[in-house]
Structure 1
């Protein structure tokens, strides 16, 4: 959560930056103090404190404090433990698992429930109106987009995944009001994805992005689901970022499935029965 605030600092208004620096200086105290004291310490108004919390994607000060308290008191430290050339197999196993666990716990504490709720509402509305949802990603994120398409088409939502820049532009051109475009990017700086997101937004589609805070993509889409982690963008084999993106997709799919309600289980059951012939007994 603190990494996310640091990354977002340049994009905040000057008054909100003072609140952000107060959080970064002493997060424990910020989580405990009333809004009056926080406003005085940051030399801003009380509405500015609340506005900062909402700018970071939270429902208000109470929601922000709850997530902040969990983030700074978590038992597993969010420290990136890089694998060294002389590590033994057991060392590699522990480091890779610890990195993944720490990243997931970090996301649990820092995730904006308000942003997730907005994304779920948009996707559920797409399902209700019979519109379609498209997932865009390139490279490693393209594989996550394919996984997302697999999850959502099982829910009865018309969904498409594309990892080719030209196809993304053509597909986004055909989107319109009621449709959703979900853009997945580790760095949030891929030009092809920026182009597709802009086209989809101009056509009236809802744009949802899963990417790092403070990136160009994060600010260009209507709904930002922050995926912040310590993994460098130039890693030869992204691990934590991929798991984090897949986790966010799982959260969205589960929430949307709950919105669909009682009509979904019979469909999934029939699908399961029809697949039995594909398996050896």
Structure 2
């Protein structure tokens, strides 16, 4: 069995790893790598002979390139490359330039998001999610912390959990977060969001809540001071390339992780979720009827 070090790398995917390893390859193999990086979609349909002819190298060189990247052979390499492309354009291929037209720029942004979300999904720790869901399922109150872009995720999360008939709040003001942390109880669950994992105000509020005995959960983009102090840390790893624009993939990934977490909690209370869901929908329908 091939270990597929390219496919399982912490970088975006195969093309990113090939780019990183390019300087270490033999000159003949660099010619092959250059064609793969230039037009990977074409390569997945080419035979060894066709690719070697275009690269002006021998067929054994193409085979050596594939096995050198950690695959069983050229066919295995092409299969993994096709799967990688199916997830979207890798990060190294998705940088936006001023020369891009509207269609190209939009395609790159969507492909970038798809690739990043797939990467985040593949690197999620199921054990951490399970522990976080268990802590939330026992809570009688849930408080969500987040500032800046993370406050958007916190506010969205606040909308998901009332269906469990559990009071929820999402203070985004730094002083109010500290206040909420100091008033937390052992039955309180705190969910803190920080893509950097180093947001000082969020860390302080979470630490205050933990000192009161509250269960603490962090959804972060990278390990750091915040993940080190909580009971359950969910690392949602995405790609952030801000050279040309500020991407929203970290928020998309955090929102999706929160959806997964809310679903896991709901599964633990199916009857309660159905009851409160029907009750909420009936109330909304009644109000709409009154307003019409």
Tell me the TM-score normalised to structure 1 length. 0.69
Could you say which residue in structure 1 is the equivalent of 2:10? 3
Residue number in structure 2 paired with 1:123: 136
Please state whether the residue corresponding to 1:133 is helix, strand or coil: strand
What is the RMSD computed on CA atoms of the aligned residues? 2.7
The 1:99/1:244 distance shift into structure 2, 3 A limit, reads same
> Cα distance 1:138–1:235, how it changes in 2: closer, same or farther (>3 A)?
farther
Residue in 2 that maps onto 1:149: 158
Map Cα deviations across residues 5-36 of structure 1 (whole Å, 9 max, x no partner): xxxxxxxxxxxxxxxxxxxxx9969xxxxxxx
Change (3 A) 1:198 1:78: farther
Distance 1:184 1:90, change over 3 A: same
Aligned to 2:282: 273
Among residues 244, 261, 282, which one is paired with 1:252 in the alignment? 261
Distance 1:235 1:257, change over 3 A: farther
Q: Does residue 137 of the first structure (1) align with residue 146 of the second (2)? A: yes
The structure with more radius of gyration: 2
Structure 1 window deviating more from structure 2 (172-181 vs 79-88): it is 79-88
Normalised to the residue count of structure 2, the TM-score between the two structures is: 0.67
For the residues of structure 2 that align with 1:115 and 1:233, how far apart are their CA atoms?
29
- In 1, are the aligned partners of 2:141 and 2:189 still within 8 Å (CA)? yes
Give the CA deviation at 1:155: 2.3
* Counterpart Cα distance in 2 of 1:222 and 1:243: 24
Correspondence for 1:76: 87
1:167 alignment counterpart: 176
Task: Measure how far apart 1:220 and its partner are.
Answer: 2.2
Which secondary structure does the structure 2 equivalent of 1:3 belong to? coil
CA–CA distance in structure 2, aligned partners of residues 186 and 122 of structure 1? 21
Aligned positions, number: 215
CA distance in 2 between counterparts of 1:155 and 1:110 reads 28
Alpha-carbon distance, 1:108 to partner: 2.1
User: 2-side partners of 1:214 and 1:154: how far apart?
Assistant: 31
8 Å contact from structure 2 (residues 89, 111) kept in 1 = no
What runs of 5+ residues in structure 2 fail to find an aligned partner?
A: 1-7, 12-67, 72-79
Identify the match of residue 226 of structure 2 among 217, 226, 229.
217
